[in-house]
Structures are given as C-alpha cells and as structure tokens.
Amino acid sequence: MDHLTNRLEPPLQHILARAAALAATVDTTLWLVGGVVRDLLLELPIGRDIDLAVEGDVTRLAPLLATTLGGTITARHPAFGTATLAVDHWIIDLAQTRTEYYPQPAVLPVVQPAPLTA
C-alpha cells in the first residue's frame, strides 16, 4: 500500500494524515474513496477532487477540518451528511457513511447514518 500513497503529492499526503489524525480525536474514521483511489490503482495522474467517506458526524468534523487544514467550507448538506471543503487547490468532499431509501418515486431520500460495513 505504501507504493500507492507515495504517488500522492506530499502536500496531499500531509492533508490526509492531518485529517485522519483529527478524525480519530473525535471518534471518527475516514476512508479515501472515489477518483483518487481509481487513479492510484490505474497509475493515472491524481486529480484535485478528494472524496472521503466519513464514519461519524460530518457536521461536527467539517468545521474542525476546515480550521485545522486552513480551508473553508464551501457547501454543507446536513440532511444528507455531506460537506465540501476547499483546502489550497484541493476540493475535499465529505460524505457520511449511510443507508438511504426513497419512500416514493421522485422525492429526496431518507438518509440514516450507517457503518461502512452495513
């Protein structure tokens, strides 16, 4: 796995390490998901959009991360457990691990926190 993380730019490695350490202090687990993982596995250039699955409270974590990383919150959607941060030239999307269902067609989902293993 080290050979994959070594392909990340040092500033991004630093951001991810600080984010993981901060998350641990508030009983939260972060998972790197999405395009960065795909690009690492396919040995493609790494983009600037970072997706993190959050097993914990995004509404609590987002402001802490923004402050710690020197970024800003550019969007938050508490009903869906999501937030977006701008940190340097990276966009970090946080999404709470969850289950969701649609009570009817063409309506917004009902979202409930759930562990990643659910």
Is the dihedral angle over the CA atoms 42, 116, 78, 86 positive or is it negative?
Answer: negative
Q: Give the closest residue to 94 by CA, choosing from 39, 22, 8.
A: 22
- Global confidence as pTM: 0.91
- Which residue has 């009983």 as its token pair? 27
Superfamily of domain 2-98: Beta Polymerase, domain 2 (3.30.460.10)
pLDDT at 2 (0 to 100): 63
Q: What is the pLDDT of residues 32-49, one digit of tens each?
A: 999 999 999 999 999 999
Burial of 43 (0-12, 13-18, 19+ CB in 10 A): exposed
Q: Where are the beta strands (DSSP E) in 17-57?
A: 29-33, 49-55
pLDDT at 1 (0 to 100): 55
Q: Where do the domains of the chain lie? A: 2-98
Average pLDDT, the chain: 93
Quickly state the pLDDT bin for 12 (edges 50, 70, 90).
Answer: very high
